[in-house]
């Protein structure tokens, strides 16, 4: 039985990497920062490793490096970055955004107000704004967007920044 030619291996690996990268990117909630730059760089590196497999040289080390690169940049990195994209504070902020949007729609408002976000955050046991400390007594992120959302009232971290673009479209990112 004849082995698969290097160009066929390379094209197959490249197609698999693109499919995995797209599936991993689309699996993340659209309100979150999807780390497009990081995902793009890993896809380019995976495609470069697929190009290494394109050559017809019979060096085993070159094939091992190509396969290892495709495995890491084409599968492991996209899947782990998708799996780790929703820590508890992000899930809390997503729930707050949903509650605030529902409150705005119930009031027939065209935009989510800061008061609605504060009410939704407090109803879930969290707080809006940075935690006042001796070192930094000023509370930031409590009066205008982007708001600092904390899942626990008594802890300054972890926290997430929440803003609403175009009235009802939430954007969540790390602060």
Express each pLDDT in 47-69 by its tens digit.
877 777 776 566 776 777 777 87
Select from 54, 83, 112 the last residue of a domain.
83
Whether 164 is covered by a domain: the verdict is yes
User: How many Å apart are CA 8 and CA 49, to the nearest integer?
Assistant: 14
Select from 60, 83, 106 the last residue of a domain.
83
Q: What is the pLDDT of residues 132-174, one digit of tens each?
A: 777 877 777 677 788 888 888 877 777 888 888 777 888 887 7
Strand partners, 147: 162
Whether 1 is covered by a domain: the verdict is no
Q: What is the pLDDT of residues 121-136, one digit of tens each?
A: 888 888 887 777 778 7
Q: Where are the alpha helices (DSSP H) in the chain?
A: 6-26, 36-54, 60-69, 77-83, 88-106, 114-123
Enter the tokens of residue 48.
């470069």
Query: Whole domain around residue 27: which residue ranges?
Result: 6-83
Strand partners, 161: 148, 173
User: How many Å apart are CA 71 and CA 77, to the nearest integer?
Assistant: 9
DSSP state of 133: -
- Count up the domains in the chain and report the number: 2
Q: Are residues 95 and 79 in the same domain?
A: no
């Amino acid at each position: 039985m004849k082995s698969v030619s290097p160009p066929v291996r390379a094209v197959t690996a490249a197609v698999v990497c693109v499919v995995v990268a797209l599936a991993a990117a689309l699996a993340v909630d659209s309100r979150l920062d999807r780390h497009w730059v990081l995902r793009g760089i890993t896809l380019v590196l995976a495609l470069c490793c697929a190009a290494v497999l394109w050559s017809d040289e019979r060096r085993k080390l070159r094939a091992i490096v190509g396969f290892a690169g495709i495995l890491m940049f084409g599968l492991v990195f996209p899947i782990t970055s998708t799996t780790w994209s929703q820590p508890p504070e992000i899930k809390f902020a997503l729930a707050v955004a949903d509650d605030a949007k529902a409150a705005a729609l119930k009031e027939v408002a065209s935009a989510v107000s800061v008061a609605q976000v504060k009410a939704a955050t407090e109803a879930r046991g969290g707080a809006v704004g940075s935690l006042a400390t001796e070192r930094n007594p000023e509370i930031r992120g409590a009066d205008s967007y982007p708001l600092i959302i904390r899942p626990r009232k008594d802890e300054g971290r972890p926290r997430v920044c929440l803003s609403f673009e175009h009235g009802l479209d939430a954007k969540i990112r790390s602060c």
